[in-house]
Amino acid sequence: MFIKNPHRIYTRNQLLERFWEEREQFVNDNTLTATIKRIRDKTSKSIITTVRGIGYRMD
**Using N-to-C axis directions, what is the helix angle for 12-19 and 29-42, rounded to 10°?**
90
10 contacts 56 by C-beta, under 8 angstroms: yes
The CATH number that domain 10-58 falls under is 1.10.10.10
pLDDT at residue 19, rounded to an integer: 80
Per residue in 11-30, pLDDT tens? 988 888 888 766 555 567 78
Instruction: Give residue limits of the domains in the chain.
Output: 10-58
pTM value surpassing 0.85: no
1 contacts 7 by C-beta, under 8 angstroms: no
Residue 18 one-letter amino acid: R
